[in-house]
Amino acid sequence: MAIEQVSTELLRGFSPLDGLKRDNLAALARKVQIREMSPGQLLFKEGDTEKRTLYVVSGILELVDQAKVVGTVEGGSELARNPVAPVYPRRVTARARDRVQFISIDSDLLDVMLTWDQTGTYEVSELAGKSDQGNEDWMTMLLQTKAFHKIPPANIQAIFMRMQQINYRTGDVILKQGAEGDYFYVLIRGSALVTRETPLSKEGIKLAEIKVGDTFGEEALISDAKRNATVTMQSDGAVMRLGKDDFKKLLNEPMLDWVTMSEGEEIIRGGGQWLDVRLPSEFENQHLDSSINIPLYFIRLKINTLDHSKKYIVCCDTGRRSSAGAYILSERGYQAYVLRGGINHERS
């Protein structure tokens, strides 16, 4: 499929996108592309449940039910102003009659933006004006994460308004391993490196690289523990930071889903996976059957080895470290739950 960038003028021709404020619509436009289909290609099949809001830009899309064409959507028509077959699961199959151009938007993202736009006092551009970056890309990155879809719009507005910008030079240490956790961070300019000092490596082993839009510092805030790694700027840049109390109240609490042992076992029977975030020595001494072990400080490095289609029940001995691990997974689009009280509590 060919892809090209979309304009705000084009988006304004669709409903309910025409209800978005100017700068919020511009932020959405940067994340959407015009896609192209050849005659006979399917946009979706009957029964499809993928949450995408779809609009026909040009060409004719046929709506098919049991091999019979029951309707068409032609680009530029009044009907094309509205999403194509918006009910889930899809009740028809959509097939291109000729060359069709369309746009696809994550339905949850659109719902968050519409709700926030209509309930908040501030536009994205006004909030982003708190930074000298001059654009809201880091904010729209956060809004696009699945985890942010769980957060009430009023919380999101408060989060952005309470953040403070801090500028750094190349080589500056943003947070130091062993220090107390006091802030949650979003990198808005530059790049940074996450390292962890070990008995065998005083200089620190590399755990991850941080780029614009990435977040860090949450583990220590959630688990009330010391910083488990050092973050150093690799270039001149800046972060937005949120205080510990605001982070816990506005961001952490609504993001975590807790389950009991019996609820977790039900998820496992349905194809889920226990994910133990304790140290390897703790895991070897005691762990739940069929669980896998990724220590909390390795989560960012190993997260790409996990399966986005699988549900993970994150566990540790008390629930403290696992809540930090589940937050990181949720923030990156994984289906994650926290075992309430931990494995020690549940087995006592």
Distance CA 257, CA 267 (A): 13
Amino acid (1-letter code) at residue 291: S
pLDDT score recorded for residue 119: 52
Task: Give 6's pLDDT tier (boundaries 50, 70, 90).
Answer: confident
Which pair of tokens denotes residue 299? 């989560």
Task: Give 3's pLDDT tier (boundaries 50, 70, 90).
Answer: low
Which pair of tokens denotes residue 344? 């020690």
Give Cβ neighbours of residue 176 (< 8 Å, ≥ 6 apart). 227, 230
Q: Taking the domains of the chain in order of start, what are their residue ranges?
A: 3-106, 120-252, 256-346
Least reliable range by pLDDT among 87-101, 107-121, 327-341: 107-121
* pLDDT over 90 at 199, yes or no: no
Mean pLDDT, range 58-80, rounded to an integer: 94
Least reliable range by pLDDT among 137-141, 182-186, 249-253, 322-326: 137-141
pLDDT score recorded for residue 99: 96
Mean pLDDT, range 252-265, rounded to an integer: 87
Q: What angle do CA 182, 188, 190 make, to 5 degrees?
A: 105
User: What is the spatial order of strands in the sheet that 273-276 belongs to?
Assistant: 258-259, 335-339, 311-315, 273-276, 292-293
pLDDT score recorded for residue 147: 63
Least reliable range by pLDDT among 55-59, 115-119, 180-184, 292-296: 115-119
pLDDT score recorded for residue 347: 47
Give the residue among 148, 165, 146 at the shortest CA–CA distance from 157.
148
Exposed, middle or buried, 38 (CB in 10 Å: 0-12/13-18/19+)?
Answer: exposed
- pLDDT digit string, tens, across residues 20-54: 878 778 878 888 889 999 999 999 999 999 989 99
Determine the distance from the C-alpha atom of residue 29 to the mean position of all C-alpha atoms in its chain, rounded to a whole number: 18
Phi, psi of 335 (to 5 degrees): -85, 105
Helix (H) and strand (E) counts for the chain? 14, 21
Which pair of tokens denotes residue 186? 């979003």
pLDDT score recorded for residue 125: 45
Distance CA 46, CA 38 (A): 19
pLDDT score recorded for residue 207: 85
> Which CATH code for domain 256-346?
3.40.250.10
The dihedral sign for the CA sequence 10, 15, 16, 21: positive
* CA trace torsion 173, 175, 177, 180 (10° rounding): 140
CATH code matching the domain that covers 120-252, chosen among 2.60.120.10, 3.40.1410.10, 3.40.50.720, 3.40.50.970: 2.60.120.10
* pLDDT over 50 at 346, yes or no: no
Task: Give 129's pLDDT tier (boundaries 50, 70, 90).
Answer: very low
* pLDDT over 90 at 228, yes or no: no
Q: What is the mean pLDDT of the chain?
A: 84
pLDDT score recorded for residue 133: 43
Instruction: Name the architecture of domain 3-106.
Output: Sandwich (2.60)
* pLDDT over 70 at 203, yes or no: yes
- Give the chain's end-to-end CA distance (angstroms, integer): 56
Distance CA 340, CA 263 (A): 10
Distance CA 296, CA 278 (A): 7
Contact 267, 337 (CB under 8 A): yes
| Coil, helix or strand at residue 296 | helix
Which pair of tokens denotes residue 118? 């209509």
Least reliable range by pLDDT among 76-90, 114-128, 156-170: 114-128
Question: Per DSSP, what are the bridge partners of residue 33?
Answer: 5
| Coil, helix or strand at residue 327 | helix
Distance CA 348, CA 331 (A): 31
Which range, 18-27, 155-164, 170-179, has the best average confidence (pLDDT)? 170-179
**H/E run at residue 105:** strand 100-106
* pLDDT over 60 at 265, yes or no: yes
Tell me the percentage of the chain whose pLDDT exceeds 90. 43
- pLDDT digit string, tens, across residues 278-322: 988 889 988 999 999 998 878 888 888 999 999 999 999 888 888
Distance CA 36, CA 58 (A): 9
Largest CA distance in the chain: 69
Same fold, 3-106 and 120-252: yes
